[in-house]
Amino acid sequence: MQHFHTCTVRIWVLCIVSMCCAVACAPKRGMPSRSSDATEAERPVASGIEGMRWVIRDNPRPMQTTIESMQVSGMLRPCNLESLRTLGFLAFVLDEAQLDALLHEWGGTPALERVWFGHVSSWKSVATTTVSAERLISIDGRAVSGFARLYELEFRGWTLPTLDGSAATLEFRALVDSPTLAGLPTRRGEDASVRGRLLAAPRTLALQRNEALVLFANPALSLSPDTGPDAAPLPTPADVLLNNRAFPDRREVLVFIPRFADTLPQPLRDAATVPPLEPTAPDAPRSSP
């Protein structure tokens, strides 16, 4: 009996020691100590779209100066989102490596939200707000009433691996709807993915590997005129959609980055990396005996 109790005690001691070792060796959870650690830890090894939301200081004139200088240097490249431009949006493509420099020029952000979208085949909302009926907003330079409407910016996107290099496709559209009827089609037979009325028809653009898209409210439209009455310009749909509620003196910038995993089958990867054969000279004709 005493021998049985001794064995039992030894087993319990071994179990406790094993549990302590497992806890000590287990990876610690929680926020990484550096932002670079957070980036590497949270970035999935997969293909898809990654998004970020910056909250920068609402200071239109220095922001516009930075945009103009970076356009001259070629760091910022405008992209064709004309239908969103009439709503006050501005979009640029830049190398992903230049994102930190752009954010630094705009004064940094006290809050950075990062989200993994993956492949988004259905429309997904990235910004939404309600505008009161009494508030006037500017659409394509015209003052219109808010009509107590719900304004929404949506996107979808996916990546396509190819032999010539992967590429990503992004699409954006803007909608206006009644807050009480949000999510319902407006007419019989209408596509259920279209809620309310399209303010901006869907626009498509392509991003290559190591490129990023930044989308924000055009700061030039928020500048007061140098001459005439000192009246603040009317806000655009982009202004009200990307106005940060937690930081009233700041505005939001949306960043979209395509990520590409090596998803090509092995035979295709080998075909893409093997150099073509050198042409050989034709055999000389043989002389007849």
pLDDT classification of 270: cutoffs 50, 70, 90: low
Q: What percent of the chain has pLDDT over 70?
A: 63
pLDDT in tens, 191-201: 445 567 888 88
Q: Report whether pLDDT(39) > 70.
A: no
Q: Report whether pLDDT(124) > 80.
A: yes
Q: What is the pLDDT of residue 231?
A: 67
Q: What is the pLDDT of residue 125?
A: 92
Residue 199 pairs in a beta bridge with none
Q: What percent of the chain has pLDDT over 90?
A: 34
81 CB-side CA count, 13 A: 29
The model's pTM: 0.71
pLDDT in tens, 3-21: 444 444 444 444 444 444 4
- Cβ(151)–Cβ(182) under 8 Å? no
Q: Report whether pLDDT(143) > 60.
A: yes
Q: How many residues does the chain have?
A: 289
Buried b (16+ CB within 10 A) or exposed e, 61-84: eebbebbeebeeeebbeebebebb
Residue 273 burial class via C-beta count within 10 angstroms: exposed 0-12, middle 13-18, buried 19 and up: exposed
- Cβ(154)–Cβ(124) under 8 Å? yes
Pairwise CA distance, residues 138 & 151, whole Å: 13
Pairwise CA distance, residues 230 & 225, whole Å: 7
Q: Report whether pLDDT(177) > 90.
A: no
In this structure, the number of other CB atoms found within 10 A of the CB of residue 261 comes to 13
Q: What is the pLDDT of residue 160?
A: 82
pLDDT classification of 45: cutoffs 50, 70, 90: low
Helices and strands (H, E) in the chain, number of each type: 7, 12
Residue 40 pairs in a beta bridge with none
Over residues 127-147, the mean pLDDT reads 85
